[in-house]
Structures are given as C-alpha cells and as structure tokens.
Amino acid sequence: MVVVSFIPIRIWQNLSPIFLLGGIVMLALVFIPQIGVEVNGSTRWINVAGWNFQPSEFAELGFLLFASDYLANRRGGLDHFFRDVFPILVIYLIFAGLLLLEPDFGSAVVLGGVLFGMLFVSHMRWSHVGILAGIGVLGLVVLIILEDYRIDRLTSFLNPWEDPYGKGFQLIQSLIAFGRGEWYGVGMGNSVMKLFYLPYAGSDFLLAIIAEELGFVGICTVILLFTTLIWRIFYISRLAKYAGDRFALTVAQAFAMLIAISALINMGVNMGVLPTKGLTLPLMSEGGTSLIAFSAALGIIFSIDRSSRRRLQDWILWSWWPVAREVTFILVWRLPKFCARKAST
C-alpha cells in the first residue's frame, strides 16, 4: 500500500491496457495443469515458488483501471449503447467467462456489480440502465439454474436446518456464533466456534467469529469502520472531480464500490441473508492475495488524494494571483501617488 501510494496516478492510466491483458493472461494460466492449483474443486490459484495466489484479485483491479480509463475518455457521455457501453461489456464478459470456468461465481458477480455502478455514475441513459439490470438478473437466474451446486447453496441458504450436518452446516454454525456473542461477546480470543465447529473461520466467516468474541457492539463497530472508509474514498473522488481528473474520479468510485459490494456480500453471507459465497471480508480476512490486492487499491486511492489536493492548491494559488497582483499594484504604486497628489493640492 505504501509503495503503490507513491506511484503517480498517470502511470496507472497509461499502463491500464497492459494491466487488462495481464489480468486475462493470469486468469487463463490457472487452467494450465502444471501451473494452476485445484482447491476444494475449484481451480482459482497459481503456485509460484511454493506460494499460492489467486489471480482473480489482481485481475479485478486491472479490469477496473482499464474500465475507468475507458469511461473517463467518454467525455460526451454514454448516449449510444453499442458505441459507448457495448465494448466494455464485451471485455467484462471475457473476464466473467474465465472466472465462471474456474469456477468463481462470486468474483464475477462482484465485478459485474461494480461495472454496473460505474456505468450508472457515468450518466448512462435510464433506458440502458433498465436493460442492463434486466439482463443481469436474467443472467444470474440462468447461471444458478445451470449448476446444481448453486441451486443447493440457494436452498440451503433459505432453510439450512433441512440438512444441518451437510449443506446447511456452515450457516448454522455461523448463526450459533452470532447468538453466543449477544451484546458484548464472550471476550477476545475466547471463541469456541473457531476451534472445532465453524469452517473457514479466519477467512469467509471471520465476521461470525468477531460477533462471537465482540458481540453486537463489535459488529456495529466493523460496519461503522467500513462505512467511514467507503465514505472517505467517495470524498476523495469528489476532490478528483474538482481537480478535473476524470480518470482518478472514476477509479476512486470503482474501488469504493468494490470494497462496499465485497463487504456487503460477506456480511450478508455470515448473517444468513445471502447465499453462501467464497468471498473474503476486505482488509480483515486471512488470505495474502486478497489483502495485497485491497491494500494496493487503497495505495492508489492515497495517490489520487495527494495529486488531487496538489492540483487544487495550485489552482487556488494561480486563480488568486491576478487579484493579488492588482491589489499589490494599487497599494504599492497607485495609492502612494494618489495620496501625494492629494497632499500637494
């Protein structure tokens, strides 16, 4: 995060096509037998020197940087669907197709949600918004119907007690952890669910352990922290807008939506209001790839904040310079001559 924060935002914009191609290549590498690693029936990881990392986390950032550059260059708006909107949708479908082949349904949904939000805030026509929303909902329904395990996750989410030792086991254990926490929790480090009962307690279901150890107050604190972080990123996007940097504006909005949607889905899964998905809680869950990717995103946000504030300070200085020059000229030159003339008369 610190290293990335010192890289000028213009470099990210100039290299965004390379990041896009690199993301596609990394998503394709997982299907090569000697490179891709299969875990729990999914091929989402690449092994490098004994270290597994998930390329989809970095591919998402590359796609969002490219999409931000693409939308920033559409200064005339998004009035024409096939000319302005359709090209970026085709690129997204390539990414989504590779993610679904892994399979990584959750990342494809998150990336699609962020892209829809980016198009919406870029003043896409309301008729196009309705068309994309309808196509997106229809696509989700079709993708769920095509795979039996997705239907099983949906049915277990609606009634996990139908199969308490099978499909509904994780959600039931998560709800028990929430119940044990009550108002103030059982104390830091005193969770029982993370020891024997709740799978993926440090990653996908970390929020349930926080609820057990810190209670309702702890959960509200986590939600407040995420809300504050997302609000501040949107505030930085407004600084970029006032500074006249459309690319920085779009990038900040995209990363804010990425963190918000990822956190919302993870919290919903832990609380039993959304179907179970393998998405981490940003900046909190264990998993080096996710932590590095979100930290890099925050580093880019810091870079945007620094460059935007510098631009605004320069603008204020140079916009007030003509006024200051005239005032100085009057005080130093005209006023003494005027006073001398008055004194002589």
What pLDDT digit, counting tens, does each position of 47-89 carry?
A: 776 677 788 888 899 999 999 999 888 766 777 878 888 888 8
Closest CA to 236 of 219, 256, 208: 256
**Tens digits of per-residue pLDDT, 285-339?**
887 788 999 999 999 999 999 988 888 876 655 555 555 556 665 666 666 767 7
CB atoms < 10 A from the CB of 58, how many?
19
Starting at the edge strand that comes first in sequence, how are the strands of the sheet with 51-53 ordered? Answer: 36-39, 42-48, 51-53
- Residue 17 CB burial class (10 angstroms; 0-12, 13-18, ≥19): middle
Distance from C-alpha of 55 to C-alpha of 22, rounded to nearest angstrom: 10
pLDDT range class, residue 231, cuts 50, 70, 90: very high
Secondary structure element (H or E) that encloses residue 268, with its range: helix 246-271
CA distance 196 to 177: 12
Model confidence at 277: pLDDT above 90: no
Strands 42-48 and 51-53, how do they pair?
A: antiparallel
pLDDT value, residue 327: 64
Q: What is the pTM of this model?
A: 0.85
Residue 226 token pair = 């995420």
